Each structure stands twice: as C-alpha cells, then as structure tokens.
Chain A
Amino acid sequence: AQSVTQLDSQVPVFEEAPVELRCNYSSSVSVYLFWYVQYPNQGLQLLLKYLSGSTLVKGINGFEAEFNKSQTSFHLRKPSVHISDTAEYFCAVSSLSGNTPLVFGKGTRLSVIA
C-alpha cells in the first residue's frame, strides 16, 4: 500500500517569489509520482509526472519537481509565481502495475498575494 503526506496544508507567497510545495510518500514498491492542480470548482489537471529516468521533471506553467528516492520525496517548485497559480495542489502516487489507482495527499492550498 502507498501513502502520501503533503507537509503544508496552506502556503501563502508573494507574487513573483519562488515557492516549494513539499510531498513525501511511503511505499513498499516502486511508484510513479504526480502533481495535480485543482482550480476552484474544477477537476484535476496534471502538472507533471515522474515515471523513470531523470529525477528532475518539468511540467506545465513553469513548474518542476525533483524525485528523491532516498528521502522518498517529490517536492514541487516554481521560481516565480503568478496570481493565477492560486489553487489547490495534490501530490499522488501509483504502483508500477498497469492501470492502478492514484493515491493522493490531502492537498496544499497555494495562495499568491499581490
């Protein structure tokens, strides 16, 4: 079984400042890792994913994340945030078996302040 811990429930940050949203996971098997974004009253949109290969993954909207196997972490970063980045961000994992469900963290609310 897998589990995901998002260490911060809320992160306020000023516009154009850098941000890091932290995610740690637990699993007895190798996993795939994902970050999703949820804007108010909308579904989930995939930001980026780590399947294999390079541990630094680049996604949409200028976000990137680094997979650290020894620390079982997959932190999300952006060097300069915009007001439009205000949303809920979810880290998720799934096992490497085909068609397995996603296990999500509780989410981090990113609030960008003008």
Chain B
Amino acid sequence: ETGVTQSPTHLIKTRGQQVTLRCSSQSGHNTVSWYQQALGQGPQFIFQYYREEENGRGNFPPRFSGLQFPNYSSELNVNALELDDSALYLCASSLAGTAQGEQYFGPGTRLTVT
C-alpha cells in the first residue's frame, strides 16, 4: 500500500509568482484535502476535492485553487504569491464513506516566498 506523497519537498518563490504543488493520494482513497500550516500554527483547511469536484473550502481567497484528477491525485495552485503564503502545505487523503478521521497526511511541501 503506497502512502500519501507530495512534491516538491521544498520550494522558493518570489512574491507575485505562481506555484503548483502536487499530491498523490493513498491507494484506494478518493478524497483529497489540503491544509496550510504557518510556522508555529496548526494546519488550516484550504479545500477538499472529491470525485474531481471541490467539496468544501476554508477561508482562503480565490487565488488558491485546486484540481483532482481521475486517478485521485491532486494539485494546489496559488497565484500572485504573497509573503504570508510561506508555510508548510499538507495534503491528506481519505475514503469517503468511512468513519471520519481516517485522513492520511503526506510529508508536506515547504513553500518559502521571498
């Protein structure tokens, strides 16, 4: 069974640029959730994708967008990067219909915006 993987591990971007982060869900999982973890804070929910559609969104502006592909992998796109976007971005996969809490997290992508 393959766990959740994320790429890249680290990324440095300049303010105003755009970035794409990638996540491969655990085998058999059909739901992907993205979280932003700023330094010294707990993760905050960005959005969730289920069957290639956005299935819930946190308090993040539209410049945060995503995609889910037929194989259930996912991308997080951030446009017009700001300094405050510097954070660890976590992807979590789960299987809809199972007991809540079975979210499996990837190792994260550390984004630094300069």
Residues of A in contact with B (beta carbons under 8 Å apart) = 4, 6, 32, 34, 36, 41-46, 49, 51, 90, 92, 94, 96, 98-107
A6–B90 Cα distance when bound, in Å, is 21
The stretch among B13-21, B73-81, B100-108 that forms the contact with chain A is B100-108
Q: Which residue, of B4, B45, B58, has the highest number of chain A Cβ atoms within 10 A?
A: B45
- A100-B101 contact in complex given A43-B107, A90-B42, C-beta closer than 8 Å: no
- A105-B105 contact in complex given A44-B90, A99-B55, A100-B100, C-beta closer than 8 Å: no
Which chain B residues numbered 21 to 59 have a C-beta less than 8 Å away from chain A? 31, 33, 35, 40-45, 48, 50, 55-56, 58
Decide if B99 touches A51 in the complex (CB within 8 Å). yes
User: For A100, what are the chain B residues with a Cβ–Cβ distance below 8 Å?
Assistant: 56, 100
A32–B98 Cα distance when bound, in Å, is 13
Decide if B101 touches A34 in the complex (CB within 8 Å). yes
Decide if B56 touches A101 in the complex (CB within 8 Å). yes
Distance in Å: Cβ of A97 to nearest Cβ of chain B? 8
Select which of B45, B50, B100, B105 is within 8 A of A44 by beta carbon: B105
Decide if A104 touches B101 in the complex (CB within 8 Å). no
24 contacts between A and B (CB under 8 A): A42-B108, A43-B108, A44-B43, A44-B90, A46-B101, A46-B103, A46-B104, A90-B42, A94-B100, A94-B101, A96-B100, A98-B96, A98-B97, A99-B55, A99-B94, A100-B56, A101-B45, A101-B48, A102-B45, A104-B35, A104-B43, A106-B40, A107-B40, A107-B42
A98–B95 Cα distance when bound, in Å, is 10
A94–B56 Cα distance when bound, in Å, is 13
Decide if B44 touches A45 in the complex (CB within 8 Å). no
6 additional A-B residue pairs with CB within 8 Å, beyond A32-B100, A43-B90, A101-B45: A6-B42, A51-B99, A90-B43, A100-B100, A102-B92, A107-B40
